[in-house]
Amino acid sequence: MQWLRAAGTLAGASVVTSLPDVSELPALGFDGWLRWFDEAAVLTMQSVPDEGVAIFFQSDVNRAGVWVDKGAMVARAAERAGMVMLFHKIVCRKPPGTLTYGRASYSHLLGFARVLRPTLRRATPDVLPDGGVQPGVKAMGVLACVDACRFVMTGTTTRTIVDPFCGWGTVLAVANALGLDAIGVDLSARMCKRARRLSVTVGR
Ligand X SMILES: C[S@@+](CC[C@H](N)C(=O)[O-])C[C@H]1O[C@@H](n2cnc3c(N)ncnc32)[C@H](O)[C@@H]1O
Closest CA to 14 of 175, 124, 167: 175
> Of 22, 104, 161, 191, which one interacts with ligand X (CB under 6 A)?
191
Residues near ligand X (CB under 6 A), total: 18
Q: Does 165 bind ligand X (CB under 6 A)?
A: yes
Q: Report helix angle 142-155 to 170-177, nearest 10.
A: 50
Of 66-74, 76-84, 146-154, 181-189, which part binds ligand X (CB under 6 A)?
181-189
Q: How far is the CB of 138 from ligand X (least distance, A)?
A: 4
> Of 56, 167, 173, 174, which one interacts with ligand X (CB under 6 A)?
167
Of 73-81, 105-113, 146-154, 185-193, which part binds ligand X (CB under 6 A)?
185-193
54: Cβ contacts below 8 Å, ≥ 6 apart: 14, 15, 17, 44, 45, 48, 78, 83, 111, 112, 113
CB nearer to ligand X: give 24 or 51: 24
Site map for ligand X, 125-144, x if CB under 6 A?
-----------x-xxx----
Q: Does 192 bind ligand X (CB under 6 A)?
A: no
Q: Does 63 bind ligand X (CB under 6 A)?
A: no
E strand or H helix that includes residue 66:
strand 66-68
CA–CA distance, 119 with 177 (Å, rounded to integer): 25
CB nearer to ligand X: give 122 or 138: 138
- Per CB under 6 A, contacts with ligand X among 5-34 are 18, 20, 24-25
70: Cβ contacts below 8 Å, ≥ 6 apart: 19, 37, 58, 59, 60, 61, 108
CA–CA distance, 83 with 171 (Å, rounded to integer): 22
CA–CA distance, 1 with 16 (Å, rounded to integer): 15
CB nearer to ligand X: give 81 or 145: 145
- Residues lying near ligand X in the complex (CB under 6 A) are found at 1, 18, 20, 24-25, 136, 138-140, 165-168, 170, 186-188, 191
